[in-house]
Chain A
């Protein structure tokens, strides 16, 4: 099964919204759809400069800062310990940033055994935990921002650890995060193709391919809507997928639509969820719930 959710405040205001709290409210209602791990990706209201997040395999001593800075090849600074590892400021690469960022990720993951670069962006924060959604209360509960996505995982074909939990970011495309309920059945074929192009993977979870796929399409000049339409044609399997970028929330559903995805749109916000109770709990019992149709692509932009 798996449960997915998303929320976006449509108006740009000076008041950041309690996105973390909204996602936790919805996720608690979807807990029964997946209890193996939980994760959320939240976009903050302010650009804090490019940062990356690293998850370490077990809670324990952090690596020596000097070692991390050396692995970063001069691009990292402002190291900050986090609940599941650390974050760091990243100096944007000159020239081919995709190649440079792939090399930076590889250097960190090779140099720090078991580490995973779990997110990168100027506004994006990704938090994941094995087990129930309560595991995210501390790290996500007070996160303010503009929009975000959440996932409750029922693992079906890859292992259960934080690196295999969703949401996945668009590795190496910053400020792009994806969550999905379903299976991408041509994952292995696409992965081989992307690996041949130099892309790296943090897991063996088929969901990870979606963020890379979309990031690659957007980098080639497609809009998010066009990239999602392409995904709907090129990704095989049964899936309902939510993607978040700097200013948008987008969805795509496969033609057979056996994985649920519902939404409510009000004047001020859009909320998405696998099951109605998540939306009713967030927006009240009078919320008017609609379904994303088979093959439908939809994008909400912040005004």
Chain B
């Protein structure tokens, strides 16, 4: 049935050529696995794919890898630059290394897994899906998050979950500072189940009970602009 593995060497090819190859392969369905060799930290690889396709990238990728995709399964053997899996609708993006700023920004569905650390504004304006980071996350992670689940195995920088509307952030390590209206809540049985499944899926050997849960305090839902204290703490 399957067409097996097709390898594409990125060296000497334009990013457009690489992405056109992927578009053409995606049109033929999941039975095909595509391998990209020599990605050389190039930007904009595997973007805008809206048909299912399994892609393995052998090396580091640059900015916006697997952005604007729906239904892909992208595995990166290395690190990524800014905007990993931006606006992912469905599917799975997994990298073994660290990601730059704004990993999973505005994602609406699917799963993004970062093996190492993620930079500033990780999961900014998330609208769904699951974002798992094995290591630390940077400043303003989860800023204005609206829905979805974020799991952080390491520590967080300042302003974690600033002005989040909804969604859940689970974090195992320390938090430099919570953002405006981000509050800690108790872990429930369903949180433990969710964490257990997500961590197993991500291949991360961590204990769910070690995590803290951060949610919206919902004070900014009815923001009174005359409240001076809120102005003082607003970023």
Quick check: is A257 within 8 A (CB to CB) of the other chain? yes
Beta-carbon contact of B82 and A260 below 8 Å: yes
Quick check: is B180 within 8 A (CB to CB) of the other chain? no
Give residues of chain B (80-129) contacting chain A, Cβ–Cβ below 8 Å.
Answer: 81-82, 98, 100-101, 119-120
- The residue of chain B having its C-beta at the shortest distance from the C-beta of A29 within the complex is B41
A276 with B138, Cβ < 8 A, contacts A257-B120, A260-B100, A293-B157 known: no
Beta-carbon contact of B62 and A275 below 8 Å: yes
Beta-carbon contact of A276 and B79 below 8 Å: yes
Beta-carbon contact of A257 and B139 below 8 Å: yes
- Which secondary structure dominates chain B's binding surface? loop
Q: What is the CA–CA distance of A32 and B158 in the complex, to the nearest angstrom?
A: 31
| Cβ–Cβ < 8 Å partners of A97 in chain B | none
| Cβ–Cβ < 8 Å partners of A257 in chain B | 101, 120, 138-139
Q: What is the CA–CA distance of A277 and B81 in the complex, to the nearest angstrom?
A: 9
Beta-carbon contact of A291 and B138 below 8 Å: yes
Quick check: is A285 within 8 A (CB to CB) of the other chain? yes
| Cβ–Cβ < 8 Å partners of A293 in chain B | 138-139, 157
Q: Kindly provide the distance from the CB of A5 to the nearest chain B CB, expressed in whole angstroms.
A: 14
- The residue of chain B having its C-beta at the shortest distance from the C-beta of A257 within the complex is B120
Quick check: is A289 within 8 A (CB to CB) of the other chain? yes
Beta-carbon contact of A294 and B41 below 8 Å: no
Would you give the 0/1 interface string for A259-294, flagging 1 where the beta carbon is closer than 8 Å to chain B? 010000000000000011100100001000101011
Q: Kindly provide the distance from the CB of B47 to the nearest chain A CB, expressed in whole angstroms.
A: 16
Q: Kindly provide the distance from the CB of A171 to the nearest chain B CB, expressed in whole angstroms.
A: 33
A285 with B81, Cβ < 8 A, contacts A275-B41, A291-B138, A293-B139 known: no
Beta-carbon contact of A280 and B100 below 8 Å: no
Q: Kindly provide the distance from the CB of B232 to the nearest chain A CB, expressed in whole angstroms.
A: 16
Beta-carbon contact of B119 and A291 below 8 Å: yes
| Cβ–Cβ < 8 Å partners of A275 in chain B | 41, 62-63, 81
Q: A residues within 8 Å of B by Cβ?
A: 29, 32, 257, 260, 275-277, 280, 285, 289, 291, 293-294
Question: What are the nearest 5 A-B pairs in CB distance?
Answer: A277-B41, A294-B139, A276-B41, A257-B120, A291-B119
Give 9 new A-B contacts, CB below 8 A, not counting A276-B41, A276-B100.
A257-B138, A260-B100, A260-B101, A275-B62, A275-B81, A276-B62, A291-B119, A293-B138, A294-B138
